[in-house]
Amino acid sequence: MVTSGKGGVGKTTTSANLGTGLASAGHKVVLVDTDIGLRNLDVVMGLENRIVYDIVDVTSGNCRLKQALIKDKRFENLYLLPAAQTKDKTAVSPEQMRTLAAELKEEFDFAVIDCPAGIEQGFRNAIAGADRAVVVTTPEVSAVRDADRIIGLLEANELRNPRLIINRIRPQMVKRGDMMDISDILDILAIELLGVVPEDESIVISTNRGEPAVMDHSSKAGEAYRRITRRIRGEEVPLMNLDVPDGLMDRLKRLIGMR
């Protein structure tokens, strides 16, 4: 499951890119949008025109799982189970989610569950179905605080060892001391780092097009997600180099021994 507590930090973006990355590495993957009422993963994936049934149709027995799954034509083995748009968060129960997850496990190598913001039923549903958790945060006080709360709740619900993605890092701001850096955040949250994704226009462009950035080999954020994908597959991959070249001020600072 991909979760964060706070909204708008990049759960859906991350789910789309992880799912696409894993599928292009040859795994059979299903993306599950559990943000009922605020369906988004379909548009980020560019699959919004092909929806017939949704997750609530499946859990309430309106249709079979196979009928609701949308096959991504770009990848042999990538599927989407869309959220319902007209129902509310309570339309799926944790028990139903558990059953669904068990069914998905039979069919797929990976099921990537995109969570809604918050810690209410949508979050509890995702917990009920998930074996592993990825926590997304940005380098901001409010996002890190919510991530801390989420990590506590995950552990209280036996989802041990969640892994962290720090999204929207801006190396220029980090460098001048106006943004918390990776080690600051890891110090505070004390969990394992899965990856760091820079703030990148290509995310906006790829979302406009409905083609996840991980497919774009000139995208920095795409490269970050490709590395994250490999780490999920168990490879050891170094962090991307996000350093910015030294400017005049840096050289001056060094000269007078300030760094």
Ligand X SMILES: Nc1ncnc2c1ncn2[C@@H]1O[C@H](COP(=O)(O)OP(=O)(O)O)[C@@H](O)[C@H]1O
The residue (of 8 and 247) whose beta carbon lies closer to ligand X is 8
User: How far apart, in whole angstroms, are the C-alpha atoms of residue 73 and residue 211?
Assistant: 12
Using the contact rule CB under 8 A, the part of the chain among 130-138, 143-151, 211-219, 232-240 near other proteins is 143-151
Closest listed residue to residue 198, CA positions, set 154, 158, 167, 157: 167
Using the contact rule CB under 5 A, the part of the chain among 33-41, 72-80, 170-178, 247-255 near Mg ion is 33-41
Contact 244, 175 (CB under 8 A): yes
Among 64, 71, 73, 176, the residue binding other proteins under the rule CB under 8 A is 176
Among 102, 152, 172, 192, the residue binding other proteins under the rule CB under 8 A is 152
12 counts as binding Mg ion under rule CB under 5 A? yes
140 counts as binding other proteins under rule CB under 8 A? yes
Q: 78: which strand partners?
A: 29
Residue at 235: amino acid letter: E
Residue 176 binds which of other proteins, Mg ion, ligand X, none (CB < 5-8 A, kind-dependent): other proteins
- Collapsing DSSP states into helix, strand and coil, what is residue 142? helix
Among 45, 58, 179, 213, the residue binding other proteins under the rule CB under 8 A is 179
The residue (of 112 and 136) whose beta carbon lies closer to other proteins is 136
User: How far apart, in whole angstroms, are the C-alpha atoms of residue 173 and residue 48?
Assistant: 36
Q: Which residues contact 249 (CB under 8 A, 6 or more apart)?
A: none
Residue 181 binds which of ligand X, other proteins, Mg ion, none (CB < 5-8 A, kind-dependent): other proteins
For 33: left if phi > 0, alpha if psi spans -120 to 50, otherwise beta; the answer is: beta
Residue 203 binds which of other proteins, ligand X, Mg ion, none (CB < 5-8 A, kind-dependent): ligand X
Measured in degrees and rounded to the nearest 5, phi and psi for residue 165 equal -115, 125
- From the CB of 31, what's the least distance to ligand X, in Å? 12
The residue written with tokens 């558990």 in the block is: 98
- From the CB of 232, what's the least distance to ligand X, in Å? 18
Helix axes 201-209, 220-232, angle to 10 degrees: 80
Q: Annotate 14-35 with b (16+ C-beta within 10 A) or e (fewer).
A: bbbbbbbbbbbbebbbbbbbbb
254 counts as binding other proteins under rule CB under 8 A? no
The residue (of 218 and 255) whose beta carbon lies closer to other proteins is 255
Which residues contribute to the site for ligand X (CB under 6 A)?
4, 7-13, 40, 117, 167-168, 197, 199-200, 203-204, 207, 221
DSSP 8-state class, residue 86: S
What residues make contact with other proteins under the rule CB under 8 A? 140-141, 144-145, 148-149, 152, 174, 176-181, 184, 188, 249, 252-253, 256, 258
Which residues lie near Mg ion (CB under 5 A)? 11-12, 40
